[in-house]
Structure 1
Amino acid sequence: MGQNATRNINSFLVCGLGNLGQYCVSILKEFGAKVNAIEIENIQKWEIPDISDLVDKLVIGDCRQPKVLEEAGIGLCQAILIVTSDERVNIAAAFAARSLNPNLRLVIRSAQENLNELLSENLGNFVAFEATQLPAKSFALAALSSETKDFFTLENHLVRVVRVPIDVSHPWSNYHPLQNINNPHRRVLFHAKAGKPLPKIFYQWEPNAQVLSGDTIAYIEVNQNLIPPSARPAKSIKQFWQTIVTILKWQNLRNRLTQFWKQNSQTQRVAIVCSIFMVGLFLCGTVLYKLQYPKITLQDAINVSLVLSLGGYDNLFGQIQLPFPVPWWLHLFSISLTVAGTVFVGILYAIMTERILAARFQFSKGRPSVPKADHIVLIGLGRVGRRVAQLLLELKQPLVGVHATDLEPGVLPQMPLIIGDITNALNKVNITTAKSVIVVTDDEVVNLEIALRTHAANPTASLAIRTFDPRFSENVAQLLPYARVMGVYALAAEAFAAAAFGENILNLFRLNKQTILVTEYQIEANDTLNGRLLADIAYGYGLVPILHAKANHQPAKFMPSDDMRLRVGDRLVVLGTIEGLQRVERGSIPAGQWLVRVEKAVSAQAAFEGAAVISRVCGCDMQLARTLMKQLPETLQYPLYKHQAYRLVSELSKSQVLAHIARNV
């Protein structure tokens, strides 16, 4: 949630100065925070150079010990980030920290989802992440080579982030103005002109620009409602019987039987025919014995027919002299029924044996074969690699994994796997025909070597590389401009740092070499967001509101209007960089710099409606708007953001009021 703008506590404590902890310190210091740290032992070599100079106070000791936490200044901290590599240490330290500071925000590294939920309920003001899972989707998306840059679910809806190049055949080519691309299901994130560099600031684009061939546009859209089958409305009894009657119509029944027959294998067809034939013989035998011997009961007739069907001829006629008189034709039918039953039982045994053997072979079957072309090669199957593999398999992407050692039984069994020396394994994965290669081993030098070999063998393949050291990452990015060089802990640390300020991070992704965080706010009375228009959030703080839910439990609204005003109890989900979240934390919002001049209204009714539009779009007092409309032509002395100003002019024109943007303040 947003914090009180007058709050002067800006101190954080980081426990564990491994890769993730060092990145967390670096990011927190970028925003001028005071950062203390606890490490179990002196570190001789830092992953991030000069990290020791960034830490305001470093305490050597066990972060689970209250004395160590107190020495590190936990009583004055706004939040503690517990990011050691041992989850048990993290959880124990969280309890110790909460006992010392009941108001402290706890951000810990943990992959125990069920335990994390229980801890959140009992500890309060608590959030947990798994560092290896946060950036996994970024690697998966880098391998897709598609316009989709991210996807996630929100309120049971699928949300996509798309970056699309505009050519002459695109529907948006020569579109004007750009702001009209926005609709209730879509929001523009950036617009880059052809031949010009991509914007460096998130959510900066000209609302009145024209879209031309060669431009690039990124946007976020809500695709569909993901309703689970259990949530679908049940059919009424009348609909049920109507469905049954429809199915039983001869034409529909014949089509269904034909489809059923075609879908079955040859063995299944033989079993179906034999079963129907045996049922017919069994019923026929029951009827014949009942008619021939009226004194026996129906149950006795069924029993005789069943015994004969199961090969029990000798049980009835195995004696030298027949126990009861039997006509020759019934005797012949009994023999035929026994022979048919014996054959049928043999067929059933054969089918059962086939199924058992097939199940046994299926159980012991090896991994699938390596795809021939247009597949993804995933090199390195540690924690990050396995998470990436799971995401790609869920997306139904053809995939082959490469790892130095075999995986445990049952780990990613549906994925082809090449085991052994990684550099030699490239010859076995059809690297020359692969569409993408992801290199995520734990050795960044090996990753670089593999990337160079991969590009030499297949220059057209998309390439994503995992790195750790920031300087090494910069050098590799310069050496391999065709590759996406991504630091796992650098990506994850931004989410940890943002959560330390009190935000609920739902997702994160990369766009234009920036990490974008999907963040949820619960509006409270002392928030910097309370009472703000969504236009202030979007164009002042630089965040993109994508979902707004009012406190009165009304249905949440996607891509809400800029005119909505936040109240206590509202819920807001936004896209933004960590810089934007920091501006919310501090309540640092620039004022609008654009004015609108209203020229005339065609009628008194138009003037009345125009005043309502001005009050709604600007958020100003209604009396100010009505006074302005009585003194036309007049300039609205209420500074607006550029997007607000353009939207106000557009909305006034719909009410038959002529206006234009006059000047910037």
Structure 2
Amino acid sequence: MLSSENTHQSINSTETKLNRFLVCGLGSLGQHCVVVLKEYGATVSAIDLVQPKNWDVSNLENLLDDLFIGDCRQANILEQAHIRQCRTVLLVTSDERVNIEAAFAARLLNPQARLVVRSEKQNLNQLLSENLGNFIAFEPNQLTASAFTFAALGNENLGYFNLAGRKLRVAKHQVQPNDLWCNKWQVHQLNTSFRRILSHASNSSELPNQFYEWEPETVLRSGDAIVYIEIADLFPLTQRAATKTKSETRRFWQKIFLGMSWNHLKQKLTQLWQSGDGDRFVRVAMICGITVIFLSFWGTILYRWHYPGINIAEAFYATAVLLLGGYGDVFGGVEFEQQMPGWLRLFSLGLTLAGTAFVGVLYALLTDKLLSSRFQFFFTSSRISIPQQDHVVVIGLNRVGRQVAKLLLELKQPLVGITSTAVEPNFSLQLPVIVDNFTNALASANLTDAKSVVVITDDEMENLEIGLMAHSQAPNSGLVIRTYNRQFSDKVAQLFAYAQVLCTSALSAEVFAAAAFGENILGLFHLNNQTIQVVEYMVEDGDTLNGLMLYDIAYGYGAVPILYQKTSQSPAKLMPAYETRLAVGDRMIVLATSNSLQRIERGELSPRNWYVQVEKALTSDAIFDGANEISIISGCSIGTARDLMRNLPGQLPQPLYKQQAQRLVFKLNKLRAIAHLLPVDSCTENISHPSVN
């Protein structure tokens, strides 16, 4: 049996091991990873091949607990860095091969350590994860592409995620005077089983930096801003917001029927016929198609008229056979019961000749189109018309730029790409591309009517220059600038407040650091100059989530639970009720800032500062139902709740978070039990100084 002294040493050793992290590679990403890990309160060592001369992050040497110079693939260097006592090793050098080799060396020395690797080889990463265990890999460009994409969509659309087979959307909306709930509804009334309010700010204030910093009973006014997450295909807020008059409804149905009308079809055909030279294929196909349909119609009518004994279908099939070159099939060696007139036989021959000609032309055109499409993408993409308005201009079609363009196309967002170099032969995205120097290209991109401009080249100084040029030409368009240095980013963001400045290294570092603690990062987006991460948790025995209610996750840690699943066999619940209590084996997905993730890791819950005082129950049912609500919302035992409701007036013995307490008061008042909130400080004063009452 261990002595108390040995036990204490063992505990300290365990805590040190759980809190020691090793960063291999002190490039821009590695330095930012060190900063975020230190914010978590971790002990951080680092290995780099040479002593860095210029630090992207000031004072980084003082943040590091140890710095070792050498090759991180070498076992002796890893041993010097105390690899066996590390909880996680982050391998983030700029050389992918070095990262993989170092991961092998680290796994041999420490089979339990978590490995977080910078690598873009998705298939290899998956195989290594299956074979090495406790292994996860990210590619910074892929991580940040979604953040740039959502920033480009503007304030209305901040992020999209697919969870449990449903698409979730994070959006910002400014309350309009004609919104159904303007000047009528309170903020908390927008919370439903398919929507959660994340932030609210009045017309005269800015959105808060943390979630839940809003008063539930505030009445929504024109000009207020709200940020929310919702199931995108279930009653989107912006579609339900506007008041629909009878005339609007009538116009809606007129639009539906117009879409099926002959006039609308004729208009579409006219547009196709009058299109440019690039659509000669469509014109010829239209002529051939219309001719074949015309002949089919008249052939069916004539055969049905001359042979009343056959039905319409048989007459049509006979005509179709003739049009497909089947004259010999119909007339070769066939004796007709009724003599066919010569003019009808001649007409049948004409059908075969015309059908052979026109159908042959259609086959030839289709074959030519299929063959040429494989080799003509560059010329085809250059002929795609540039959108006239409400489009996104992506400047720089490098790896990140192509990924951003791909995501925008998936979201059906019109866009145009600009590059100063020739497009690669394997470029397969169907979007208009302007190949020119950036100064000339901006003039051709309909910039003044663009939704936003994303400047994402590999040179951050060039990004700044192009971004300022774009803003001078289109001051009303959104501007997103890509940078690599956090200090540079902060300065640019302060000086040019109209731009969203996203630092690739800083964005990626937050994901790498969160993954270092075992979190599964599903996505990220940018809100109020902060990175919001979509994080998946699996509740384990002994972690800081076990036994907590979702109220604690929301108001105690400042995260937003958006999915809860009891077991892998149970159905996943989107926008779960906060009364849910977590247990071992539960799965939860939250929206969280880096600060929230750090608090979850350390188990630092915010204090509960409010009591609920119940004065009286107006009905006997209120006593019974009120006790049930108290137990459900506060999490106390049903016995405690019943004792409180049987001995009114009384105070719930355990304090609650403010919005949790407000919800309980709202429910009790609805049940005709009079209740109100009391701050913890006032209750303490009353206990310490009873004479005050």
Same fold (TM over 0.5): yes
Equivalent pair of 1:311/1:339 in contact (CA under 8 Å): no
SS in 2 for 1:510: strand
Q: CA deviation at 1:654?
A: 3.2
Supply the distance in 1 between the matched residues of 2:414 and 2:539 (Cα, whole angstroms).
44
The CA RMSD measured in Å over matched residues stands at 3.6
1:135 corresponds, among 133, 144, 163, to 144
Q: CA deviation at 1:152?
A: 0.8
Partner of 2:8: none
2:128 corresponds, among 91, 110, 119, to 119
Q: CA deviation at 1:495?
A: 1.0
Partner of 2:457: 441
1:383 corresponds, among 385, 389, 399, to 399
Partner of 2:287: 266
Q: How many residues align?
A: 608
| TM score, norm. by length of structure 1 | 0.83
Supply the distance in 2 between the matched residues of 1:329 and 1:648 (Cα, whole angstroms).
90
SS in 2 for 1:265: helix
Distance 1:372 1:220, change over 3 A: closer
Distance 1:206 1:141, change over 3 A: same
Asked if 1:185 corresponds to 2:201, the answer is: no
Partner of 2:60: 51
How big is each residue's C-alpha offset from its partner over 1:22-81, in whole Å with a ceiling of 9 and x where there is no partner?
Answer: 211121122332111122333322322333332222223332332222222211111111
Equivalent pair of 2:324/2:359 in contact (CA under 8 Å): no
Partner of 2:589: 573
SS in 2 for 1:542: coil
Q: CA deviation at 1:530?
A: 0.7
Equivalent pair of 1:311/1:338 in contact (CA under 8 Å): no
Gapped runs of 5+ residues in structure 1? Answer: 227-253, 285-302, 317-327
Q: CA deviation at 1:442?
A: 1.0
Partner of 1:250: none
2:670 corresponds, among 650, 654, 663, to 654
Partner of 2:618: 602
Asked if 1:17 corresponds to 2:26, the answer is: yes
2:502 corresponds, among 480, 483, 486, to 486
1:499 corresponds, among 470, 494, 515, to 515
Partner of 1:424: 440
Equivalent pair of 2:194/2:234 in contact (CA under 8 Å): no
Distance 1:590 1:366, change over 3 A: closer
Distance 1:332 1:89, change over 3 A: same
Judging by fraction of residues, say which structure has more helix: 2
Partner of 2:327: 309
Partner of 1:629: 645
Partner of 2:482: 466
Supply the distance in 2 between the matched residues of 1:379 and 1:415 (Cα, whole angstroms).
13
Distance 1:138 1:309, change over 3 A: same
Q: Which moved more, 1:94-103 or 1:599-608?
A: 599-608
2:363 corresponds, among 340, 352, 361, to 352
Equivalent pair of 1:438/1:464 in contact (CA under 8 Å): yes
Equivalent pair of 1:311/1:342 in contact (CA under 8 Å): no
Letter in 2 for 1:468: Y
The structure with the largest alpha-carbon Rg is 1
SS in 1 for 2:668: helix
Partner of 1:35: 44
2:172 corresponds, among 163, 166, 186, to 163
Supply the distance in 1 between the matched residues of 2:58 and 2:656 (Cα, whole angstroms).
44
Distance 1:340 1:93, change over 3 A: same
Structure scoring higher RCO (CA < 8 A, sep ≥ 6) equals: 1
Letter in 2 for 1:267: C
Equivalent pair of 1:202/1:577 in contact (CA under 8 Å): no
Q: CA deviation at 1:115?
A: 2.7
Q: CA deviation at 1:528?
A: 1.2
Equivalent pair of 2:25/2:91 in contact (CA under 8 Å): yes
Letter in 1 for 2:501: V
Q: CA deviation at 1:466?
A: 0.6
Equivalent pair of 1:401/1:418 in contact (CA under 8 Å): yes
Q: Which moved more, 1:447-456 or 1:370-379?
A: 370-379
Supply the distance in 1 between the matched residues of 2:354 and 2:594 (Cα, whole angstroms).
75
SS in 2 for 1:582: helix
Letter in 2 for 1:414: Q
Letter in 2 for 1:194: N
Letter in 2 for 1:608: F
Partner of 2:380: 366
Q: CA deviation at 1:487?
A: 0.8
Equivalent pair of 2:183/2:219 in contact (CA under 8 Å): yes
Distance 1:91 1:203, change over 3 A: farther
SS in 1 for 2:105: helix
Distance 1:612 1:344, change over 3 A: closer
Partner of 2:161: 152
Partner of 1:294: none
| TM score, norm. by length of structure 2 | 0.80
SS in 1 for 2:215: coil
Supply the distance in 1 between the matched residues of 2:112 and 2:499 (Cα, whole angstroms).
44
Supply the distance in 2 between the matched residues of 1:626 and 1:193 (Cα, whole angstroms).
40
Asked if 1:534 corresponds to 2:543, the answer is: no
SS in 2 for 1:638: coil
Supply the distance in 1 between the matched residues of 2:33 and 2:106 (Cα, whole angstroms).
18
Distance 1:151 1:335, change over 3 A: closer
Q: CA deviation at 1:539?
A: 0.9
Distance 1:343 1:510, change over 3 A: closer
Equivalent pair of 1:14/1:37 in contact (CA under 8 Å): yes
Gapped runs of 5+ residues in structure 2? Answer: 1-10, 236-259, 270-284, 306-320, 334-338, 682-693
SS in 2 for 1:639: coil
Identity, in percent, stands at 46
How big is each residue's C-alpha offset from its partner over 1:289-333, in whole Å with a ceiling of 9 and x where there is no partner?
Answer: xxxxxxxxxxxxxx9x999936999x99xxxxxxxxxxx999998
Partner of 1:588: 604
Partner of 1:293: none
